Chain A
């Protein structure tokens, strides 16, 4: 089965992207979950949809846009959305979670209007919503690899700051950690990873890859470092099993990845019945 899979170049590229986001998403997810911001992933992925819809609409009149992958526009929107989100979190200092539904609903609102105007409610949309393994190009794989390098360097160099910030933002600030800058960079990085993951898992299921492996990991981990080890393992396992089964049964990969991640979470919860 694997041999067949690797025979086609688009499947190889899909696998490369899948394995990259299979650890990028959950590793970022560790920080996101620890900061109790799990919903942020949904807000940013929906804003990506808006960007994609905007691209599809523009491409109808601007032919130069037609050969370009709409995900790039999605990425741009997602990064912009992440900055808006940080601003809103300051505006609503004591209701920080309000920023998420505001961004999320504006994302869907604009997205749906753009898609209607572009008359794009077909199979393309389905691919963006639930992921797909067809027509993945070498360029897609290259861009995601590049993003992966940036994210890995970011996490290595800012690990201690991110850790402190996730644990106690106020104390981090007092200790002279440049919290604003780090928060800003982190949100941009998260937006990039979310946009990269959309190719394979789809907008509606990005959060499953970012959050479910972490949810399983938090039950097993005895230290912060272990969180990453488990999140990495569960993320990669979900993507590998998800992609192969999706290909085999000809279903949307996002669904199979989310189901695999859920299965892992179920097993972990079942194995370790203890509240966290």
Chain B
């Protein structure tokens, strides 16, 4: 088990939200400590992506408060500390003639500020990020020419390039083959354990995820469960999901994450 620091990276306090009439989130209170790896699970339409969008300030909650690195969201300025890979990252305009390198460079633009140009250090960071996701050989290719899984890796590199303190990933393994999923989780583990990066992962692969994460949160409009992965494994899945589900759980060691 990782030594989990006490500093809270991300915190939601009684957050509620509705798109029209139907409430999507109700009184969600959750926190992520520095250095932890939280898996956020829940059935389709349970409000996971909505919660992430609220955390990122893309939509404002109807009630409740969000704090990022201890700062209320409205006052938060250090967006370079947050890396995000959206669920629909691979549904961008596929005809866009941008190279992999150009796409990853975008991840640096926010922290570079206005009127600044890419320099050698930036270029080295881009190389590093591509190397981390195993896409160095593709840097000159246009993004539209890559497969869905490869594109997803490029978007992860774009999130990593600014060396964020927390990386938020919304279902990054959709459309990624089994072997790549394995590599992907290994990459996340490395980032979490070796670099101490805090991770928030939205996923449906509950079985695989529990082997890597330190904490689990189960959302279905309300937060049904929020605790360590050991505590999660002792729970009955249907109770945490809020209704009956059949889940394939892969055999895994009892020792918890790695």
Chain A residues at the B interface, C-beta cutoff of 8 Å: 34, 36, 157-158, 160-161, 163-164, 166-168, 170-178, 218, 221-227, 276
Instruction: Decide if B45 is an interface residue (CB 8 Å cutoff).
Output: no
B110 touches A177 (CB 8 A): yes
- Tell me the smallest distance from the CB of A256 to a CB of chain B, in Å: 29
The digit string for B109-127, where 1 denotes a CB below 8 A from any CB of A, is: 1111011011000000000
B98 touches A170 (CB 8 A): no
A174 touches B79 (CB 8 A): yes
Of the candidate stretches B36-44, B89-97, B222-230, the one touching chain A is B89-97
Taken together as a complex, chains A and B put the C-alpha atoms of A172 and B82 apart, in Å, by 12
Q: List 18 A-B contacts (CB under 8 A).
A: A157-B115, A160-B117, A161-B114, A163-B102, A166-B96, A167-B98, A167-B106, A171-B84, A171-B86, A174-B57, A174-B79, A174-B84, A175-B79, A218-B95, A222-B99, A223-B99, A224-B99, A227-B97
Instruction: Decide if B142 is an interface residue (CB 8 Å cutoff).
Output: yes
Give which listed residue, A36, A171, A175, contacts B80 with CB less than 8 A: A175
A170 touches B58 (CB 8 A): yes
A176 touches B111 (CB 8 A): yes
Instruction: Decide if B196 is an interface residue (CB 8 Å cutoff).
Output: no
Within 8 A of A (CB), among B50-72: 56-58
Given contacts A167-B96, A222-B142, 20 further A-B contacts (CB under 8 A): A157-B114, A157-B115, A158-B114, A160-B105, A160-B106, A163-B102, A164-B109, A167-B92, A168-B92, A171-B84, A172-B106, A174-B56, A174-B57, A174-B79, A174-B84, A175-B109, A177-B110, A223-B97, A227-B97, A276-B95
Give which listed residue, A167, A170, A218, A227, contacts B103 with CB less than 8 A: A167
Nearest A residue to B158, CB-CB: A171
Nearest B residue to A223, CB-CB: B99
A163-B102, A222-B142 given; A175·B96 CB < 8 A: no
A168-B92, A171-B86, A224-B97 given; A160·B79 CB < 8 A: no
- Tell me the smallest distance from the CB of A56 to a CB of chain B, in Å: 41
Instruction: Decide if B107 is an interface residue (CB 8 Å cutoff).
Output: yes
Give which listed residue, B58, B93, B106, contacts A34 with CB less than 8 A: B93
In the bound complex, residues from chain A placing their C-beta under 8 Å from that of B142 are 222-223
Taken together as a complex, chains A and B put the C-alpha atoms of A242 and B123 apart, in Å, by 42
Taken together as a complex, chains A and B put the C-alpha atoms of A63 and B79 apart, in Å, by 55
Taken together as a complex, chains A and B put the C-alpha atoms of A65 and B157 apart, in Å, by 58
In the bound complex, residues from chain B placing their C-beta under 8 Å from that of A172 are 106, 109-110
- Tell me the smallest distance from the CB of B184 to a CB of chain A, in Å: 20
A226 touches B97 (CB 8 A): yes
Within 8 A of A (CB), among B195-246: none
Nearest A residue to B57, CB-CB: A174
Nearest A residue to B143, CB-CB: A167
B97 touches A176 (CB 8 A): no
Taken together as a complex, chains A and B put the C-alpha atoms of A45 and B57 apart, in Å, by 36
A163-B102, A174-B58 given; A34·B114 CB < 8 A: no
In the bound complex, residues from chain B placing their C-beta under 8 Å from that of A34 are 93, 96
B109 touches A177 (CB 8 A): yes
Taken together as a complex, chains A and B put the C-alpha atoms of A224 and B95 apart, in Å, by 11
Taken together as a complex, chains A and B put the C-alpha atoms of A204 and B110 apart, in Å, by 38
Taken together as a complex, chains A and B put the C-alpha atoms of A222 and B95 apart, in Å, by 10
Taken together as a complex, chains A and B put the C-alpha atoms of A172 and B114 apart, in Å, by 13
B97 touches A160 (CB 8 A): no
B79 touches A176 (CB 8 A): yes
A168-B92, A174-B58 given; A218·B110 CB < 8 A: no
- Tell me the smallest distance from the CB of A222 to a CB of chain B, in Å: 6
Nearest B residue to A157, CB-CB: B115
In the bound complex, residues from chain A placing their C-beta under 8 Å from that of B114 are 157-158, 161, 178
- Tell me the smallest distance from the CB of A181 to a CB of chain B, in Å: 9
Taken together as a complex, chains A and B put the C-alpha atoms of A176 and B114 apart, in Å, by 11
In the bound complex, residues from chain A placing their C-beta under 8 Å from that of B79 are 174-176
